[in-house]
Amino acid sequence: MSKTSKAVVLLSGGLDSATTLAIAAAEGHQCYALSFDYGQRHRAELDAAGKIAVQLGALTHKTVHLDLSSIGGSALTDPDIAVPTTKTEGIPVTYVPARNTVFLAIALGWAEVLEASQIYIGVNAVDYSGYPDCRPEFIRAFEQTAGLATKAGVEGRPFQIHTPLIELSKADIIYKGVELGVDYSLTVSCYQADDQGRACGQCDSCRFRKDGFAQAGVPDPTRYY
Amino acid sequence: MSKTSKAVVLLSGGLDSATTLAIAAAEGHQCYALSFDYGQRHRAELDAAGKIAVQLGALTHKTVHLDLSSIGGSALTDPDIAVPTTKTEGIPVTYVPARNTVFLAIALGWAEVLEASQIYIGVNAVDYSGYPDCRPEFIRAFEQTAGLATKAGVEGRPFQIHTPLIELSKADIIYKGVELGVDYSLTVSCYQADDQGRACGQCDSCRFRKDGFAQAGVPDPTRYY
């Protein structure tokens, strides 16, 4: 693959998306990292995203402002809904309605402007929280939609949505990232991190992450409050 | 259809989306109108959307801020790209990459929060500017994606994307809207309207609109500058 092949990489500032960026770079792409300031509970993950983009050599890091809190409906965007600290049945309240559809749609728009055909997203269907928009069938449907939605698609330049983590366990993701030089101390996974990016250690996201480091036998660099 | 059936209606402030809102209301829905402040060239269409929502009895009108101008790539979002005033070949520079995908994705998120299953969008595949995301095949693909993307979809409550204008000529749209009481003097279609909502009369959108009123034999209430 030529080094001039461009990829838009969704970068939240968490462990998964940092690993995804490292993989996209290792696969020879010029990486355009994309984050969203969408009214999430804390800004520590956006600060983390900026540092990770630099550490992993992204060509650009763009943060798009998008007020998802105005539609609410999730513990991550509505301060009146508490983040659960124990495992819950079914799809949890941290689910943000249509979030990955929105993020991929904006990534698609930017990719088309950049004349990039590759989009990377760090969704995971194994150690995940049961979000419907992390499943392979959703990703394939979006990819097909992207081809029909765009001038590039109509003109015969379809988009590929890459999900390199989708079948990996959290421990395997961490192995892969360590191999590629990801500095996980920069990443913030916690749903309710504090301003310094320190984690609660209690939410779903913290628990998956903590278990992942333990199973991988890799020292956990996470700072807890 | 029960009067309590909720619909999210994309409302730009133009002629097509105003007619779409009138149709959704006439079909018995409680209408939640949704507009985007996405860095478009002028704000007159957002002012128009607010007035139309009131005139046509929408329950709520929400404007979501989303900075598409940060990705650029269109004469509608990048001040360095001029709006063409003559017919051009192919997909014109007023095409905003992935715009309807982004708008529908956010509408989907809001619909899920509202527990609404119906989404209305005023796309048109007849008298249109050749935008790929105004075609029926795009809409059907997005609808399928929406069912896979969401908690509602997974739980057996899929979404319907309604495109009541898709096969209508501009004249037929105007006939329909007049019949339903749309006050077209409130609508702004021009790509480069001034602050008072007055139109240029030259751009693609103005020309389709002007021809539509002429063909419908309806007096054109558009104010030109």
Q: What is the DSSP string of A73-109?
A: -STTT-TTSPPPSS--SSS-TT--TTHHHHHHHHHHH
- Token digits of residue A156: 């015969």
The residue that leads in pLDDT, A206 or A75, is: A206
Q: Would you state the pLDDT for residue B146?
A: 97
Residue of A nearest to B62 (CA): A70
Strand ranges, E, within A48-190: 60-65, 118-120, 160-162
Take residue B93 and report the two structure tokens written for it.
């520079």
Nearest by Cα to A139 from A165, A157, A177: A165
- Asked whether the predicted pLDDT for residue A74 surpasses 80, the reply is no
Spatial distance between the Cα atoms of A70 and A191, rounded to a whole number of angstroms: 19
**CB–CB contact B102 A102 (8 Å):** yes
Specify if B212 maps to a domain.
Answer: yes
pLDDT score recorded for residue A131: 86
Residue A3's pLDDT is what? 47
| Structure confidence at residue B125 (pLDDT) | 82
Question: Is residue B176 over pLDDT 70?
Answer: yes
More reliable by pLDDT, B2 or A76: A76
Lookup result for tokens 């029909």: A148
Give mean pLDDT, residues A196-213: 92
Nearest to A22 by CA among A143, A136, A164, A125: A164
Which structure tokens are listed for B203?
A: 């751009």
**Does position A179 have pLDDT exceeding 50, yes or no?**
yes
Contact B93/A at CB under 8 A: no
Nearest CB among B96, B99, B149 relative to A138 is that of B149
Q: How confident is the model at residue A127 (pLDDT cuts 50, 70, 90)?
A: low
Residues of the domain holding B189: 6-216
The percentage of residues in chain B with a pLDDT greater than 90, rounded to a whole number, is: 70
Average pLDDT over residues B130-152: 94
Quick one: pLDDT band at residue B3, thresholds 50, 70, 90? very low
* Chain B positions in Cβ-Cβ contact with residue A154 (cut-off 8 Å): 91, 132
Within a domain: B32 = yes
CATH code assigned at B137? 3.40.50.620
Please state the rounded mean pLDDT for residues A33-49.
87
Model pTM score = 0.91
Q: How far is A222 from chain B (nearest CA, A)?
A: 31
pLDDT at A38 over 90: no
Domain count across chain A: 1
- Please indicate, yes or no, if residue A170 is contained in any of the structural domains: yes
Residue B223 within any structural domain of the chain:
no
Structure tokens at A58: 């992204």
> How many Å lie between the alpha carbon of B112 and the closest alpha carbon of chain A?
6
Report the distance separating Cα A132 and Cα A144, nearest Å: 17
A137/B110 Cβ within 8 A: no
Q: Name every chain A residue with its beta carbon within 8 A of the beta carbon of B38.
A: none
For residue range A1-30, list pLDDT tens digits in order. Answer: 444 699 999 999 999 999 999 999 999 999
Determine the Cα–Cα distance for residues A14 and A2; give it in Å rounded to an integer.
Answer: 28
| Interface contact A135-B144, CB threshold 8 A | no
Query: Residue A106: pLDDT above 80?
Result: yes
| pLDDT digits 0-9 by tens, B45-78 | 899 999 999 999 999 999 998 888 777 777 667 7
With an 8 Å Cβ cutoff, is B96 touching chain A?
Answer: yes
Mean pLDDT of A98-111: 94
User: What whole-number distance in Å separates Cα of residue A12 and Cα of residue A41?
Assistant: 13
Residue A66 has what pLDDT? 87
Which of A67, A97, A113 is nearest residue B64 as measured by Cβ atoms? A67
Is pLDDT of B212 > 50?
yes
Whether residue A217 is predicted with pLDDT greater than 80 in this model: the reply is yes
Q: Using a CB–CB cutoff of 8 Å, tell me whether B81 touches chain A.
A: no
Question: Considering only alpha carbons, which residue of chain A is nearest residue B105?
Answer: A102
From A84, A83, A76, A27, select the one nearest A56 (Cα to Cα): A27
pLDDT at B17: 97
Per-residue burial over B94-122, b = 16 or more CB atoms within 10 Å of its CB, e = otherwise: bbbbbbbbbbbbbbbbbbbbbebbbbbbb
* A217 min Cα distance to partner chain B (Å): 34
Q: Are A135 and B148 a contacting pair at CB < 8 A?
A: yes
Q: Give the tens place of pLDDT for each residue, B80-105.
A: 777 677 666 677 777 788 999 999 99
